[in-house]
């Protein structure tokens, strides 16, 4: 493929860079895992949305600019290079929205996407359950048919953003006689509805990055079913593919982080420590390899399918390695409150969420390499 950017791409890059230079807060916002920080990040989403920069590749009628996927990668590179705030809306725009675009109705697209793009409605992913984390098909929360909709019952846990978000989306067992992947329905629901109890879960640093959701007869109208009732597993696999692929962790996140890692090495490293130098170089090289893989992915016409598992393992391992290297460069100072420390704590979750890396290795072995299915 042609790796040279065209004039339109460079013009878009310059526009985004200038906008970010004018609007990115001079001081980092408080952690989005706190009530105050969540509110500040929501306001940042509204600032992005006001200039159609929260979802640049979406069609204009949904709040985007309709730019190409390549230009979305350009936007991401500039966004992270500018050290702009983390995206509190990422569950919605990176996971739910692509799922709706593939399986949703025109009414759902028109109703759900513009408020999401504008930062007015923040979404939480409600997939994991106490007995169904990586083994998602073992979920037990139910959706029971009632007049005009469904009644949700059960418990979800480790729901990202749920402590302060507005709405959630997840899978529910709608056929009690079914097993595993069958008889599941994909639904959206409000977190402030009657029957919903949200209980924040503190992270190691005490911040409520997650929440448990207890659902007791929560009514959801038919209009909030995504795809065909009972066929939710197929819909969920669309979400999972996006979560493990480029949309959740675009290359710009890592190219910008490794540029800052190189600068940290120049400021803090002992030049004779070649082992640490090599770790910095390795992280930089891997971030560039992931960038090139990103270009290869968007140049294809097909769905990458199980290859998204390769992406997920690669970026999650890279994220941990580059932040461990940064903390080793900082030495005792790494124990102090900093973006490096905050991002390191978050990176530790990468090999677990979006399907554990152990599960992804099974996917690669069985679906890409054709190896025999292992014992379950």
Give catalytic residue positions.
243
Residues in contact with 69: Cβ distance below 8 Å, sequence separation at least 6, in sequence order: 57, 298
Q: How many CB atoms lie within 10 A of CB 64?
A: 22
Structure tokens at 84: 């702009």
Cα–Cα distance, 87 to 261 (Å, whole number) = 21
Distances (CA, A) of 375 to 76, 256, 320, 362: 41, 41, 29, 11
Cα–Cα distance, 98 to 327 (Å, whole number) = 35
Taking a C-beta distance cutoff of 8 angstroms, is the pair 155, 130 a contact? yes
DSSP 12-53: HHHHHHHHHHHHS-SSPPPPTTSHHHHHHHHHHHHHHHHTT-
**Cα dihedral: 285, 290, 293, 295 (round 10):** -100
CA-angle at 257, arms to 21 and 37, nearest 5°: 65
**Cα dihedral: 245, 246, 252, 253 (round 10):** -40
Distances (CA, A) of 351 to 161, 238, 259, 304, 356: 19, 20, 23, 20, 6
What is the residue whose two structure tokens read 């759902």?
108
Cα–Cα distance, 188 to 169 (Å, whole number) = 4
Instruction: Reduce the DSSP state of residue 103 to 3 states and report it.
Output: helix
Q: Indicate the DSSP class of residue 375.
A: P
**C-alpha dihedral sign at 184, 122, 242, 132:** negative
Q: Residue 256: name the closest of 194, 188, 343 by CA.
A: 343
Q: Give 3-state DSSP helix, strand, coil % of the chain, rounded to 5.
A: 50, 15, 35
């Amino acid at each position: 493929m042609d790796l040279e950017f065209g004039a339109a791409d460079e013009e878009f890059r310059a526009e985004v860079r200038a906008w970010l230079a004018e609007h990115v807060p001079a001081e980092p916002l408080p952690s989005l895992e706190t009530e105050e920080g969540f509110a500040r990040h929501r306001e940042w989403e509204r600032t992005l949305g006001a200039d159609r920069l929260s979802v640049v590749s979406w069609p204009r009628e949904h709040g985007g600019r309709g730019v190409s996927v390549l230009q979305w990668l350009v936007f991401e590179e500039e966004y992270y290079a500018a050290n702009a705030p983390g995206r509190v809306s990422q569950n919605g725009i990176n996971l739910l929205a692509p799922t709706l675009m593939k399986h949703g109705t025109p009414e759902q697209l028109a109703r759900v996407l513009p408020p999401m793009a504008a930062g007015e409605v923040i979404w939480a992913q409600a997939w994991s359950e106490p007995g169904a984390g990586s083994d998602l098909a073992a979920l037990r929360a139910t959706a029971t048919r009632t007049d005009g909709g469904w009644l949700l019952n059960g418990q979800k846990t480790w729901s990202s953003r749920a402590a302060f978000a507005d709405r959630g989306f997840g899978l529910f067992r709608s056929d009690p006689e079914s097993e595993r992947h069958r008889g599941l329905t994909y639904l959206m629901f409000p977190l402030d509805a009657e029957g919903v109890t949200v209980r924040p879960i503190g992270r190691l640093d005490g911040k409520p990055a997650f929440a448990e959701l207890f659902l007791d007869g929560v009514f959801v109208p038919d209009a909030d079913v995504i795809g065909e009732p009972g066929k939710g597993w197929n819909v969920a696999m669309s979400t999972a593919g996006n979560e493990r692929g480029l949309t959740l962790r675009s290359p710009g996140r890592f190219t910008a982080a490794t540029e800052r890692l190189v600068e940290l090495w120049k400021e803090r490293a002992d030049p004779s420590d070649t082992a640490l130098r090599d770790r910095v170089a390795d992280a930089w090289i891997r971030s560039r390899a992931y960038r090139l893989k990103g270009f290869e992915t968007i140049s294809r016409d097909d769905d990458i399918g199980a290859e998204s598992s390769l992406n997920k393992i690669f970026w999650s391992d890279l994220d941990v390695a580059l932040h461990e290297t940064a903390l080793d460069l900082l030495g005792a100072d790494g124990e102090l409150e900093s973006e490096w420390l905050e991002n390191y704590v978050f990176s530790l979750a990468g090999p677990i969420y979006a399907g554990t890396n152990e599960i992804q290795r099974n996917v690669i072995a069985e679906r890409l390499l054709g190896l025999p299915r292992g014992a379950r």
